[in-house]
Amino acid sequence: MIISWAGGLARHRTGRLLAAAAGIALAVALIAALGSFLTASKATMTQRAVRSVAVDWQVEVQPGGDPGAVRNLVRSTAGVRTALPVGLVPSSGFTATAQGTTQTTGPGMVLGLPDGYRAAFPGELRTLSGGDTGVLLAQQTAANLHVMPGDTVDIKLPGTGGTHQVRVAGVVDLPQADQLFQKVGAPAQSQPTAPPDNVVLLPSAAFASLTRTATGVSTQIHVARDAALPSDPAAAFTAVTRAAHHLEAGSAGGAVVGDSLGAALDSARQDALYAQLLFLFLGVPGAVLAAALTVAVTSAGGERRRQEQALLRLRGLRPGRILALAGLEAALVGAAGGLAGLGIAALTGRFSFGTASFGAGAGSWGTWYGGAFALGAVVAAGAVLVPAVRDLRTVTVADTRRAGRAARAPWWLRCGLDVLLLIGAWLIFRASSGNQYALVLAPEGVPSISVSYWAFLGPALLWAGAALLLWRLTLLALTYGRPVLTRLARPLTGTLAGTTAAMLARGRRPLARSVVLLALAATFAVSTAVFNATYRQQAEVDARLTNGADVTVTEPPGATVPPGAADSLKVAGVRHVEPLQHRFAYVGSDLQDLYGVRPDTIASATSLQDAYFAGGTARELMRTLAERPDNLLVSAETVTDFQLSPGDTVNLRIQDARTKALRTVPFHYAGIVKEFPTAPKDSFFVANASYLARTTGSDATGAFLVDTGGSGQRAVADRLRQRVGTSATVTDLTQTRGTIGTSLTSVDLGGLTRIELAFAVLLAAGAGGLVLALGLAERRRTFAVATVLGATRRRLRGMVLTEAALLAVAGLAGGTLIGWALSEMLVKVLTGVFDPPPAALSVPAGYLTLTALAAVAAVFAAAVNGVRRAGRPAVEELREL
């Protein structure tokens, strides 16, 4: 009997089984693809973190410790590949005579590097000019001393009682100077704000000779590790941190580890956690929607299934056998949908990322594929088997023979669950977006990070509550809006307009369910697309804020380059060059950055968004600086600390270029600046450059912002490097994107976007077309009766198209509204992902239009198919039914 039943299902319920399997396939494919890619992305984050560090550990020998013994201990530590000693000694200054002038710098550092250092740590030094070996000067030191390879430099060392002359062999860049000159063992908040400006690198033999009698000499063991790390950044961080602590314990106080690798992994594990949160925020709703689509597809034939079950019961089949037949259907749907879903996931990985595993290890992606298949089986059981069990318990054979059985309103509709959920979403959103809120907490010095998971409730409750509210409104509109429906249907149905409105009102429950499913699919597409587009927008804004413009030429501290030097930077590909002053000023005892701008032209080289300011738009505040040169834009923190009101006088102490002494310069507080190109993230000022030049006696420029029109940044930067040589630092936007972009920016969100947006289109098409098609198939009897009573094919087509139009308009309109609200909430709740916060959401109109067209096409394709089926001879249709 089971074989006969399976054959009957395959012959007579093929379309329904395939539709249910399609819903399960989407759920399985989405979970398998997202889960595998999430695992692969975490592994990529770990690899990127490891590659981003030139020196994994800097083991500093403590006073009184034996460098040789510490080095031997380090070498014997598991996972250590290379361990080389580096000497460090502070210098009171460097002096050089070149081109007829003598230049003297302030304090600096002298390092002694052993042979083979550059080969062991290739990311630590980059040669700019001259040789790779011998005495090397950092780029800024060479610029400060006005020297080049072949010149001599005098080094002053404490305790030696004189100077030591060395000949410069080359000029180098120190890409990871912050890590190289960190205070080993000190917490992040006590680290120096910037590495030393003046650095001389000596061969270890020369360093030992020069520092024989010097004081303050210290030794570090620079370590490169090759230990295999877990793919998860959090697990890798734990492993590296424990190894560093084990080394410190083994040294018995003789060494302290500067764990640069652990610091990089610490940042990566926070990115990994945000990627996991994005998976939950943006991926899980898609899987839930696919499961709901499956349930809707199976429930569309619920009445027919109950009648078949009643017939089996009349013929004496026991409940256990009936459940076995329902279980067979669930198994067929689950197996077919699960296998198809795994195939879709594998193809997605193959075509998008070159491998079916999405780059994850065999064990990881196998686990996700297996878990997704099991999820598909659960969904199939819940969609087919659970309703069969419920009907056996609650529905009698007589009940199935009663036409038009009245059904009570759902319990959630009677108790107002939709309103309660929306109220709860608003309350949780208010609490989670309050002051000092952070979704991910990673306290300094604490090895564990925590997530405020309760913040998930806000978007989740909004998603569910808005869907139920749309369901309620659709039911109300179909129940009490028959006059309006009649008028709307008349152009398509003519004299059957009243009948069409009555039919829609009678079938309001399945139609409302279809509207909600399409709306949720549209919500998934809108929220995912808007969130990801906004993230990309803000990542670009962050890069531009950090770099300043397409290309930025930064002068070394103390340089006196006039604004007119901008003309020499107008190489091929440059549209505009804007000088930007950079000074330091005391407000009270607080030293802050001070930027002098030309208000009329600053926006020609860089973007100034209104979100960067408070108290006026960007254009208004720049006009304020131009109209009154002594106006000043102040950071919000300073405004709060000093209780400033608009128009208040702010006295800043700034160094006078003529006397080198600090002088008091009065300004007037005109507005708040929260972000500004090249400025730090904490407190700073923005003033009129002409006023600064007049009051300080210098118009020296700190940086030149170069506009290339948004293209060719790298080529222009290369030309400018050739033009300025080692006298200034040139950075471009593409370089800055790679520097500040987290692994979340460059890896996970891009992959997450491609996967989710592709499935969003499929879900929208499925939600719009499948359920409507099956619902029309269930009403074949209604159409046949209407034909017998005289309805023309044109009127029948109008009835079907009216329902399709109502579904498409209501579903897409409701989904757009819910998606917009959910996007606003997601951006606010995930505020830690955005830096700086967006002034407005970015709406990818092209993708959303494509999604809407796919949904509309699926709806009307189902309608056209329904019209074709309705055109069959009525007697033949009634005989089959």
Q: Which amino acid is at 412?
A: W
Tokens 């109950």 locate to 306
The parent domain of residue 674 ranges over 551-707
Which one of 315-324, 400-409, 536-545, 649-658 scores highest in mean pLDDT? Answer: 649-658
Task: Report the range of poorest mean pLDDT among 24-38, 112-126, 280-294, 296-310.
Answer: 296-310
In a domain, 732, yes or no: no
Of 371, 406, 441, the domain-final residue: 406
Same domain, 479 and 461: yes
Tokens 């904490």 locate to 682
Tokens of 409: 């309103």
Please report the pLDDT score of residue 445 as a whole number. Answer: 44
Nearest to 764 by CA among 336, 290, 138, 220: 290
Task: Report the range of poorest mean pLDDT among 84-88, 107-111, 760-764, 817-821.
Answer: 760-764
Share of the chain above pLDDT 90, in %: 26
Please report the pLDDT score of residue 257 as a whole number. Answer: 93
User: Mind listing the pLDDT tens digit for each residue in 687-726?
Assistant: 999 999 999 999 999 999 999 988 888 899 999 988 888 7
Q: How far apart are CA 268 and CA 49, in angstroms?
A: 6
Task: Report the range of poorest mean pLDDT among 89-98, 270-279, 479-488.
Answer: 270-279
- Mean pLDDT on 107-112: 93
- What's the gap between Cα 289 and its chain centre? 23
Please report the pLDDT score of residue 535 as a whole number. Answer: 79
Q: How far apart are CA 112 and CA 201, in angstroms?
A: 6
Same domain, 378 and 474: no
Please report the pLDDT score of residue 451 as a whole number. Answer: 61
User: Mind listing the pLDDT tens digit for each residue in 54-75?
Assistant: 999 999 999 888 999 999 999 9
Q: Would you call the peptide bond into 836 cis, given omega within 30 degrees of 0 as the criterion?
A: yes
- For residue 113, pLDDT over 80 is answered with yes
- For residue 224, pLDDT over 90 is answered with yes
Nearest to 271 by CA among 871, 741, 841, 875: 741
Going by the DSSP 8-state scheme, the letter that residue 838 receives in this structure is: P
Tokens of 635: 């950071």
Same domain, 42 and 127: no
In a domain, 359, yes or no: yes
- For residue 595, pLDDT over 90 is answered with yes
Q: How far apart are CA 721 and CA 399, in angstroms?
A: 85
- CB under 8 Å to 604, separation ≥6 — which residues? 576, 578, 707
Q: Is 698 helix (H, G, I), strand (E, B) or coil?
A: coil
In a domain, 446, yes or no: no
Distances from the Cα of 15 to the Cαs of 32, 340, 801, in angstroms? 25, 16, 21
- For residue 112, pLDDT over 60 is answered with yes
Burial-class residue 800 by CB neighbours within 10 Å (0-12, 13-18, 19+).
buried
Please report the pLDDT score of residue 826 as a whole number. Answer: 81
- For residue 773, pLDDT over 80 is answered with no
φ and ψ of 164, to 5 deg = -125, 125
What stretches of 381-507 show up as alpha helix (H) in DSSP? 386-394, 397-400, 411-415, 417-432, 457-480, 482-493, 497-506
* Residue 688 near residue 597 (C-beta atoms within 8 A): yes
- For residue 29, pLDDT over 50 is answered with yes
- For residue 437, pLDDT over 60 is answered with no
Which one of 31-45, 380-394, 790-804, 829-843 scores highest in mean pLDDT? Answer: 31-45
Query: Comparing 577 with 146, which gets the higher pLDDT?
Result: 577
In a domain, 874, yes or no: yes
Same domain, 787 and 644: no
User: Mind listing the pLDDT tens digit for each residue in 312-365?
Assistant: 666 667 777 777 777 777 888 888 888 998 998 888 887 767 777 776 776 777
Same domain, 401 and 482: no
Q: How far apart are CA 516 and CA 283, in angstroms?
A: 19
DSSP characters over 345-413 = HHHHHHHHHSSTTTT--HHHHHHHHHHHHHHHHHHHIIIIIHHHHHHHHH--HHHHT-TT---PPPHHH
- For residue 189, pLDDT over 70 is answered with no
pTM: 0.74
- CB under 8 Å to 781, separation ≥6 — which residues? 877, 878, 881
- Mean pLDDT on 624-652: 90
Please report the pLDDT score of residue 489 as a whole number. Answer: 86
Distances from the Cα of 13 to the Cαs of 313, 381, 814, in angstroms? 20, 18, 32
Same domain, 26 and 100: no
- What's the gap between Cα 113 and its chain centre? 40
Please report the pLDDT score of residue 471 as a whole number. Answer: 92
In a domain, 603, yes or no: yes
In a domain, 295, yes or no: yes
Task: Report the range of poorest mean pLDDT among 244-258, 401-415, 866-880.
Answer: 866-880
Q: How far apart are CA 755 and CA 435, in angstroms?
A: 34
Same domain, 377 and 239: yes
- Number of independent structural domains in the chain: 4
Same domain, 391 and 479: no
User: Mind listing the pLDDT tens digit for each residue in 263-296?
Assistant: 888 888 877 777 777 777 767 788 788 888 777 7
Please report the pLDDT score of residue 139 as a whole number. Answer: 84
DSSP characters over 288-321 = HHHHHHHHHHHHTTHHHHHHHHHHHHHTT--HHH
Of 707, 727, 753, the domain-final residue: 707
* Residue 334 near residue 377 (C-beta atoms within 8 A): yes
pLDDT band at 82 (very low <50, low <70, confident <90, very high): very high
Tokens of 527: 């929220």
- For residue 435, pLDDT over 90 is answered with no
Same domain, 774 and 817: yes
Task: Report the range of poorest mean pLDDT among 59-68, 551-560, 602-611, 779-788.
Answer: 779-788
Half-sphere exposure of 460 toward its Cβ, with a 13 Å CA cutoff? 12
Q: Is 196 helix (H, G, I), strand (E, B) or coil?
A: coil
Query: Comparing 129 with 746, which gets the higher pLDDT?
Result: 129
Same domain, 381 and 510: no
Query: Comparing 290 with 731, which gets the higher pLDDT?
Result: 731
Please report the pLDDT score of residue 787 as a whole number. Answer: 66
Q: Please provide the average confidence, as pLDDT, over all residues in the chain.
A: 82
Please report the pLDDT score of residue 137 as a whole number. Answer: 93
Please report the pLDDT score of residue 10 as a whole number. Answer: 58
Nearest to 242 by CA among 221, 219, 261, 222: 261
Tokens of 589: 């005892």
Distances from the Cα of 175 to the Cαs of 125, 128, 179, 198, in angstroms? 7, 12, 9, 14
Q: How far apart are CA 329 and CA 384, in angstroms?
A: 7
- Mean pLDDT on 840-851: 86
Please report the pLDDT score of residue 802 as a whole number. Answer: 87
User: Mind listing the pLDDT tens digit for each residue in 646-693?
Assistant: 899 999 999 888 887 889 999 999 999 988 998 887 789 999 999 999
Please report the pLDDT score of residue 65 as a whole number. Answer: 87
Q: How far apart are CA 591 and CA 637, in angstroms?
A: 13
Of 682, 707, 732, the domain-final residue: 707
* Residue 560 near residue 698 (C-beta atoms within 8 A): yes
In a domain, 814, yes or no: yes
Same domain, 696 and 575: yes
In a domain, 414, yes or no: no
Same domain, 677 and 794: no
- Mean pLDDT on 781-807: 73
Query: Comparing 136 with 778, which gets the higher pLDDT?
Result: 136
